[in-house]
Structure 1
């Protein structure tokens, strides 16, 4: 039985107490139509167990969500929906524009001239700046390795 949060909209959808247009369901994940789609065919893939953020999501379920997102993107491209491209988008935290605090992956069919934008002040960085950032990420990986053993491929061995 999945764990949930009584106040979480997505947990209510998984329980069936809020209606949704289900596209796919298995023991780990649930995929359904976004009720405020950017484009027709906009889907959400969520874990059945409540996890507000990626950090709370177990790696197996996270990988399963992305595998399903990949499969759904292929399905959208083969459907009659307008689709010239696909974005897989996951917002983790308020600063990343997460609005529903239950981890979820958007599968967004895209076409030239649609309204979806991700805009930033893209700036080229020096190799030295990039190396400093890389060192910080490596430090985080080293910390994780002490709490979760990583295999050479980068996946959890637990």
Structure 2
């Protein structure tokens, strides 16, 4: 069983920030920054590609509501991070969103340093352009 499922089932302790029937929000134990939260669906879902529309919609509503609550409490901004699949850096195969609560001048750069493109914009566009009929 995955570590997040164990936390949801209270087999592993956590610092619960908020909870409803479908969602658990906990404090991340990594201590890589102040105010790092994890937003988890209670149902085991590996990643965003396996998430049904209803659950994903609920998660985004929870995230937006919590973000507004924290902004009202004095935080200056919010970063929302998500990785899908090992290649993208997903370390736990249970859908989760990192909610980083930001303070003015906290010195955190939450954006990855990207290496720069090795192909032209035209080639990128040609490789990615999707026809309406291709989208499911």
Length, aligned pairs only = 133
Q: TM-score normalized by structure 1?
A: 0.72
CA distance in 2 between counterparts of 1:122 and 1:138 reads 31
Q: Which runs of 4+ in 1 moved over 6 A?
A: none
Aligned to 1:93: 85
Q: C-alpha displacement at 1:90, in angstroms?
A: 0.9
Aligned to 2:102: 110
From 19, 22, 29, the equivalent of 2:16 is 22
Aligned to 1:155: none
- Partners of 1:38 and 1:116 within 8 A in 2: no
Aligned to 1:133: 128
Cα RMSD of the aligned pairs, angstroms, is 2.4
Q: C-alpha displacement at 1:37, in angstroms?
A: 3.7
Q: Deviations over 1:42-74 (max 9, x none)?
A: 111111110112122111111211111122222
Higher relative contact order (CA 8 A, sep 6+): 2
Q: C-alpha displacement at 1:78, in angstroms?
A: 2.6
Aligned to 1:153: none
**1:6-155 pair list within 5 angstroms:** 7-79=1-73, 83-111=75-103, 112=105, 113-114=107-108, 116-123=110-117, 125-127=120-122, 129-135=124-130, 139=134, 141=135, 144=136
